[in-house]
Amino acid sequence: MQQTTAPAENPQPATADADGVPVFQLIDPGLVQDQYGFFAGLRAKSPVWWAELPDGTRWLVPTRYEDIRRAHLDPVLRQKPDPEDDPVTDEEGGIWRVYNEHPVVSDPPKHTRLRKLLSGAFTARQTERLRPRVEETVEGLLDSLARQGADGTPVDLMEGLAWQLPLVLICELLGVPEERRDVFHDWSRNARDFTGGSTHEGREEIAYRIIDVIKDLVEERRATPTDDLLGQMVQARDADEGRLTEMELISTAFIVLLAGFETSVGLIGNGVSALLRNPGQRALVENDPALLPAAVEEFLRFDPSLFLTNVRIAGAPTTVAGVDIRKGQPVLLSLGAANRDPEQFPDPDELDVTRNATGHLAFGYGIHHCMGAPLARMEAAVAIGRLLERFPDLRHAEGPDVPYIPSPISRTPLNLMVRLDRPADLPTG
C-alpha cells in the first residue's frame, strides 16, 4: 500500500473567507511532497477550499469525487472566460500563442472543431492497428534493458522503457522520422532534470526547436502528401482553411506530440512502481495476465499521471461544490484527489487490481476527456505485461521510495531503478 500522510496532520487552514470556506497555500511544500496525503487532509476538514497564491489570488478547489466530476461537466467553467477572448496576436504571442491554440485549452465551438479532426486517429480500432508496432518496440527496449541489467546491474525503467516507448509511438503516429526525434528526447530530459538546474527558459528554447521541426514537416507534407496524422491535418488545413488555421495546425501537432507521450510515461512508471510495492497484487497479475486491462484501470485510479487539471475559469457566475463563484474566478480540479475519495472508491489508498475502477478521472471527464486514452492503456498493458513475463525476478534496486518530478500537477517518477537479474531469454548480441 502506498503510504500517505494522516489527514489529521496535514494541512492547517491559514484563513477562511466570509462564507467560512477555508484557505490553504497553493505553494505549501506538503502538496509536492505528498499530494494524496495533502488532499486527504483537505477533504477530511472541508469538501471545498480556496487555494491562495502569494499575490492573494485564490482558486476554488473541490476535494470530493462527485464535485470534481460535476465541475468537469459545467459549461460555465471554461478554459477561457469567453470562448472568443483571444487577444494575443501571432506576432506578439510567441511560444504562448502555440500553447494557446490546441483542443486541450480550447472551448466549444473551437474545441469541437479541433477535436473532430483528431478523434479518428485515437479510436480503439485505430489503436489496435498499432499493437504489433507497440509489441515490437517493447521487445526491442526490453532487449536493451536486459543487456544493461545483466548480472544484476541496476537499470532505470523510466529511462529505458517508460520514456522511450510512448515517444516512439507518438512520433510514428504523426510521422516524425527517427533522425528528427532528438529534440523530443531533449524535452523529456528537461522535464526530468527539473531539480538539476533545468529552467523555464531552457524548456522554452526546446519548445521553439520542436515547433521548427513541425513547421518543416508540414511543408514537406504539402510538397509530398502522406497518410500519417500530420499529413491528414495538413490536407484538412489546405482543403478548407475554415477547418484549421495554420497556427492551430502547428499548435495541435505540438500538443499531440508532447501530451501524447508524457501521459503514458507516468502510467507505465506508476503502474510498475505500484506492483513492486504490492507483491500480492503483482502475483495476481503474473498468474492471470487476463487481469492486465483491469490492472491498468486500477493503476490509473491509484496513481494517475496528471494530479491536477488545467485551471477552469468561470465564464459566468456559477456554483461549485456549494460555493458561489463570480465570473472570471478560477477553479482547480484534482484528478488524483477524486480518484482517492473513499465515498467513490472504498479503501482508496489500497491497490486492488481486481476492483472495478471504471469511473476514475485519470483521463479527465466530459468534452476534454483525453483522446489518447486507448493508446495509453494499450501501451501500458503491453509494456507492463511483457516486463513481468520476461523478468520474473524484477525488484527495486534502491528501495521502494521512488523520487518524483517535484510538481503539484504531475505524477511522473524521475527514475525507477530496478534489478532484472538474468532471464532465460537474455539476448547474447
- DSSP H helices, 25-152, are 29-33, 35-45, 65-73, 90-93, 95-99, 110-119, 124-129, 131-148
397 and 336 Cβ atoms separated by less than 8 Å: no
Looking at the DSSP bridge assignments, the partners of residue 243 are: none
Give the residue from 245, 90, 263, 261 showing the smallest Cα distance to 176.
261
SS3 state of residue 122: helix
SS3 state of residue 11: coil
Q: Which three cell numbers stand for residue 396?
A: 527495486
Report d(CA 122, CA 137) in Å as an integer. Answer: 19
Report d(CA 44, CA 51) in Å as an integer. Answer: 16
414 and 266 Cβ atoms separated by less than 8 Å: no
Q: Show which residues are catalytic.
A: 259, 262, 264, 370, 379
Report d(CA 128, CA 282) in Å as an integer. Answer: 25
Report d(CA 266, CA 259) in Å as an integer. Answer: 11
Give the residue from 234, 242, 278, 227 showing the smallest Cα distance to 388.
278
For cell 488555421, what's the residue?
245
SS3 state of residue 168: helix
